[in-house]
Amino acid sequence: MTPPEVLLLGGHGKVALHLTPLLLARNWNVTSVIRNPEHENEILALQKQHKGKLSVLISSLDDVKSDDDAKAVLDKVRPDYVVWSAGAGGKGGPARTKQIDEIAAKHYIAASFADSKVRKFLLVSHLGSRRNKPSWLSDEEWKYLMHINTDVLPAYAKAKLEADEYLTALAAKKRKTDPGFQAILLRPGYLSDEPGTGKVELGKTRAKGSVPREDVARVADELLARDDTRGWADLLGGEENIEDAIDRFLVEEKYELPGYELKPNCPAPDIVCIKDFIRWFGIGIRGHDRPQFATAIFLLVIALAHKALFGIDSLEDLAQFDLRDGPVTEVPLRWKDDALDKPVLEMLLPRVPKRRCLTKRGFILFFTSFLSWLGILRKPQSMIFADRLAKRLKIMPLFVTQRSLYEVRERPSKMYSWKAFLIANIFVEIPYQIFLGILVFGSYNYAVNGIQSSDRQGLVLIYCIQFFVFGSTFGHMLVAGLPDAETAGALTTLLFSLILVFNGVMQPPSALPGFWIFMYRISPFTYWVAGIAATILHDRQVECSAAEFSVFNPPNGQTCGEYMTSFLQVAPGYLQNAEASANCQYCSLSISDQYIAGSGIYWSDRWRNFGLVWAYIVFNVVMATVLYWAIRVKQWKITDLKARLGYSR
């Protein structure tokens, strides 16, 4: 197997000088990037008797002003792994610190993530690089870190935090398309030049403490050598062997990343008591604080719903809860915007800085969980909340009232035709349904689906509008000839239940009893759900959970990727750990189209389905007219009917 190429940025740094021989000892080829040519011989002396090849590249990080500058270095070296161990080291003031530790770091991160050959990126940061207080630190420890970040090393801390969050954001995005990519953040405490002990504290560490640079290099070497390492790793000197610490860290540790905590530094509320809830948010009721009160009431209603349905008693519990699978340990970073980490209360009431508890990012996660409570974020069948919406449109009572007025006033006077009355009542509702469709699209689409291509956003929008137009015409069709809204409402509930249950998503067509297959064919939601689900889910990457992987071992002497090469050329899934030599992890699906195809949903049918639902809408209008005529206009006489049937005494 070809040894990996490692690009080591900041090659003359003290951590890098310890790391270089460790990488060479693994028979890896290392290109050490340094700024000063006078240090080249010192770097090359690290080669010694190691099998790996060591090269030196003279390149200044001060000159890196764009992703293209970083890409130029990557194109020269063509690395498999990139290690960032560079830093300004306090030289050159805040401006140079920002250039090296933030700007150049971001450009190398972006260029590395965009390079398909790069499989691992390790960034050496520092333990205090966080925006919010993690749960395992005491107030005193957090105060100490904030003192370092704001009073002692403000420029350094700010630059490191920016680079760390940038790496985290790109890593979350990268994993959707490339699950095997490893982005590692190694975050040591105070660095000392003491000899390494091989004993560390890794994971949820203390805030105060030091770690030898030699041990930092050893941990970095071990993290790079494994195929199952990614994410954040805080590091201090400790009592645990490095290998054991990494094993425990990968199995046990759960992280709270900057900006992810929903309730930083706030006491847990009793959300059942509205007074305590409002007091927890620091919200008044009078004067300019009324918007705050409204926000609290909205959150309280959502929180009570979560408590009733899922037994969640606090926002802290909610932060660890995923409506799809239950408790989780990681919340994906879907937004990279500093404004999202500003507390909501700060935006509305900036004069109460001590009561800032809920960030905008947390508010977004909380709101999307509310949508999930309504059934919108779950499986595709739950996208239909038609039964609730149809009952709340309140078209039927209004129509019955207007029909009664027409039949006792305009119709006897022959002021205008019953056809004009009926068609006008149907079409006057359509602008309202369009408006409702746009509102639902705006609140649902971006919160759940994110930003998709313009054509797919447009198609989801017109599907949302079409749904409301269908609901309106369906209601008119049912109430047109019936005596009152109550009877029509009962019939609506029955029919909506039938077309909802037999739409082919809750139960695929192949699993339906033979007699009921006709309901699948005639249900309008068969085509509406298929169309909008295909539009939303088309070409989305599937990422299997740990329980969903098929695990097996390859033959001796082969990696998982080598063993599965022929199979993967025709198989629909993906291999999680191609470079591993044991415990290969294969996911049977790679894109969501493969999953929804089991329900007969295909991207190629999206426009056909859209057109078929319009055919149902036209059918609703025609049937409303026919039913109104047959039941309320046409005067059926029993004698005429008998004569037509040829009945005689």
- Please give the share of the chain, as a percent, with pLDDT higher than 90: 30
In this prediction, residue 67 has a pLDDT band, given cuts at 50, 70 and 90, of very high
CA–CA dist 331, 340 (Å, integer): 15
DSSP H or E run through 368: helix 360-373
- Integer angstrom CA distances of residue 208 from 150, 549, 643: 16, 40, 100
Q: For residue 511, is pLDDT > 60?
A: yes
Q: Backbone phi, then psi, for 283, in 5-degree steps?
A: -110, 130
Cα–Cα–Cα angle for 155, 160, 165, rounded to 5 degrees: 130
The pLDDT value recorded for residue 61 is 94
Name which of 220-229, 393-402, 423-432 the model is least confident about: 393-402
- Per the model's pLDDT, the better-predicted residue between 444 and 357 turns out to be 444
pLDDT of amino acid 321: 39
pLDDT at 119 over 90: yes
Q: How confident is the model at residue 618 (pLDDT cuts 50, 70, 90)?
A: very high
Number of Cβ within a 10 Å radius of residue 152: 10
Quick one: pLDDT at residue 482?
Answer: 85
Total length of the chain = 649
Distance CA 573, CA 589 (A): 4
Asked if residue 436 has pLDDT above 80, the reply is: yes
Which of 526, 534, 522, 541 is closest to 604 using CA atoms? Answer: 534
- Which uninterrupted H or E stretch holds 5? strand 5-9
Contact criterion met (CB below 8 Å) for 162 and 102: yes
Q: What is the pLDDT of residues 360-408, one digit of tens each?
A: 444 444 444 444 444 433 333 334 343 334 444 467 778 888 888 888 8
pLDDT band at 640 (very low <50, low <70, confident <90, very high): low
By the 8 A CB rule, do 471 and 433 touch? yes
SS3 for 479? Answer: helix
What confidence score (pLDDT) does residue 394 get?
A: 60
Q: Give yes or no for residue 343 having a pLDDT over 90.
A: no
Would you state the pLDDT for residue 644?
58
pLDDT of 205 above 80: yes
Give 591's strand partners: 541
Report yes or no: 233 and 186 within 8 Å, Cβ to Cβ.
yes
Per the model's pLDDT, the better-predicted residue between 275 and 24 turns out to be 24
Torsions phi, psi for 613 (to 5 deg): -65, -35
CB 11 within 8 A of CB 32: yes
pLDDT over 70 (residue 296): no
Which residue in the block uniquely carries the two structure tokens 């509305």?
A: 348
Q: Which of 114-128, 145-159, 436-450, 531-545 has the highest mean pLDDT?
A: 114-128
Q: 429-453 burial by CB neighbour count: b if 16+ within 10 A, else e?
A: beeebbebbeebbeebbebeeeebe
Question: What is the reported pLDDT for 124?
Answer: 96
Q: Taking the CB of residue 69, how many other CB atoms lie within 10 A of it? A: 16
Q: What's residue 643's pLDDT?
A: 61
Percentage of the chain beyond pLDDT 70 is 74
Positive/negative CA dihedral, 107, 110, 112, 114: negative
Mean pLDDT, rounded, for 168-178 = 85
Would you say residue 69 has pLDDT above 80?
A: yes
pLDDT of residue 494: 78
What's the rounded mean pLDDT across residues 277-305? 42
Which SS3 state, helix, strand or coil, does residue 40 take? helix
Domains of the chain: 5-252 (3.40.50.720), 274-373 (no CATH), 385-539+614-633 (no CATH), 546-590 (no CATH)
Confirm whether pTM is higher than 0.85. no
Query: Does residue 128 carry a pLDDT above 60?
Result: yes
